[in-house]
Chain A
Amino acid sequence: MKLLEIGIGKTAETLGAWMLGLLWLLPVVFAFWSAFHPAEYSTNFELFAPLTTDNFVRAWSYAPFPRYLLNTFILVTLILAAQFVLCTLAAYGFARFEFFGKNVIFALVLLQLMIMPEILLVENYRTISKMGLLDTIPAIGLPYMASAFGIFLLRQSFKTIPKELVEAAQVEGVSAVGILWKVYVPLSRSTYIAYGLVSVSYHWNNFLWPLVITSSVNSRPLTVGLAIFGAPESGVDWSIITAATVMTMAPLLLAFILFQRQFVQSFMHSGIK
């Protein structure tokens, strides 16, 4: 009797989870449906509606998506590279050295966790414009390159590295830089992957700051390109907009589906303090 009850409870739970999961996937499924079918089927769900890639071809021809894609790609790579360098150095400093004012400086750095650069977009726009960098890809990335989040994560990870390893290297005469490069960095690999995935997702998807700072095809990332393309006043067909939307989210989505476990674990990792 009791076992039967447990069985029913379990089935109900499973069913509930599946229903909720389906509900959650629905909008994405719908976007794909609409992108791959002719316009008249975008609200008309027939199982055997003809498939087409026409929407993509047309979206492609209406707006310079390859260029946007390239811009986003450059942007994300640039930010990630700069973040790795800056955050590694700073995290190493905070984790390993006792220096004057360390705690105050660290607290000041952490302020950026709460007040992200996009909150301060008015003044940051002013700064970038004074630098003469308006409408360039580096300008989009600049405010994010030194990331408090990255420093925090890496410092956490560096602090868990056993002291013996460091001391053993010191005894062997490895320099401070050598220790960073040969001990700290390799042993924090999983943190780098986690941070890298979170950072790439964030900047692939970031919108408001790039929108403000870019004004031409040469620097616009995908998200901004999509927003301009999809604006109601552009008068483009709905299915073509969804095709563009799918194009924008596809690379990250594909990476996510392929490395699902890694993604989820990375986000998990980044939240455990």
Chain B
Amino acid sequence: MKLIFQPRYWNHINGWLLVLPAVFMISLFTHFPIGSNVFHSLFSMGTATRPEAFIGLENYKYLMDDDIFWKVLSNNLVYSLCTVPISIAIALCMALLINRNIRGRSLVRMAFFTPTVLPMIAVANIWLFFYTPEYGLFDQIFTVFGGDSHNWLGNPDSALYCLIVMVIWKESGFFMVFYLAALQQLSPELKEAGLVEGSGSWYYFRRVTFPLLMPTTLFVMVNAVVNSFKLVDHLVIMTKGGPDNASSLLLYYIYENAFSFWDTSYAATLTVILVLILAIITVIQFVVVEKRIHYQ
């Protein structure tokens, strides 16, 4: 009996061979560490005298009672709730402005986009100086108007908000680009029909532009939320999470636990929480996107 190797098997083999290298690498640095995080969160830290041991949910219990964790988590929520909507709103305004036929629009567009290509570290350095008491730009402007000198980043009440302002500056231009792309895909006929039928700018924006940009808003929003959990570079430079964890964010707290306090098992526990948060965002995104597809 002759064995004929059917071509359709080749599809499976070729397909698998092609995706295998990438899938292996992604598993190694994404799926495997997720599992291993969960695993390590169930063990105590090994020390020189004591080997690591299975402690069940002990780490999670500790986490529940960890005031700093709650502080950091609520910081992160405030941070997300401020940076996401504000930077999206600014991005939308920028895109609407640039989409008009104004003079020098490519220059303006460049100005808006520039912060996106700068390293967060460089940005943090620059803004660190803006916030410097007395010499910094903010204090100089403030004193011109008769205000007092502030220790912007040294004050627990203002530190987080200072970071928020900076991040909004850094990210708006990035999000603007997506709105621009979406605006360019709207047919000019729609706008003209609106003009003929007598819709004012605001009415048209509310009834047509904004709803039609909804998919973009969703995309940008998910991006912004994920960024607000994963981008903490500036903390290393500007506040180190301080003062008294007033500006610390979840990922930075993980970093501190793992690489300053060398408590990798607690860091793993915190990472599990962070992954859970991101998973929830993903699920929400899917549900909403799914709904939108049915809706259209």
Q: Which residues of A contact B (CB under 8 A)?
A: 10, 13-14, 16-18, 20-22, 24-25, 27-28, 30-31, 34, 42-43, 86-87, 89-90, 92-94, 96-100, 102, 105, 108-109, 111-112, 114-127, 142-143, 145-146, 148, 151, 176, 201, 204-205, 207-208, 211-212, 222-223, 226-227, 230-231, 238, 241-242, 245-246, 248-249, 252-253, 256-257, 260-261, 263-264, 267-269, 271-273
Contact = CB atoms under 8 A, between A and B. Distances in A.
Given A109-B22, A248-B122, A249-B122, A30 B137 contact: yes
A34 B129 CA distance: 11
Contact of B177 (A30, A242, A256, A264): A264
Contacts of B220: 271
Interface of B: 11-19, 21-34, 36-37, 40, 93-94, 97-98, 100, 102-123, 125-127, 129-130, 135-137, 140, 169, 173-174, 177-178, 180-181, 219-220, 226, 229-230, 232-233, 236-237, 251, 254-255, 258-259, 264, 267-268, 271, 274-275, 278-279, 281-282
Nearest to A255: B117
B19 A227 contact: no
A121 B255 contact: yes
Contacts of A114: 226, 278-279, 281-282
Contacts of A20: 93-94, 97, 108, 112
Contact of A142 (B13, B29, B114, B264): B29
Contacts of A176: 14
Nearest to B250: A119
Contacts of B180: 264, 268
Main secondary structure of the interface of B (DSSP, over half): helix
A230 B121 CA distance: 10
B23 A122 contact: no
Nearest to A145: B25
Contacts of A123: 32-34, 36-37, 40, 268, 271
19 contacts: A13-B102, A16-B97, A27-B126, A31-B122, A94-B19, A108-B26, A115-B34, A116-B230, A119-B278, A122-B258, A123-B32, A126-B36, A146-B22, A208-B251, A226-B125, A245-B122, A249-B122, A253-B118, A264-B180
Nearest to B129: A238
A204 B233 CA distance: 13
B117 A97 contact: no
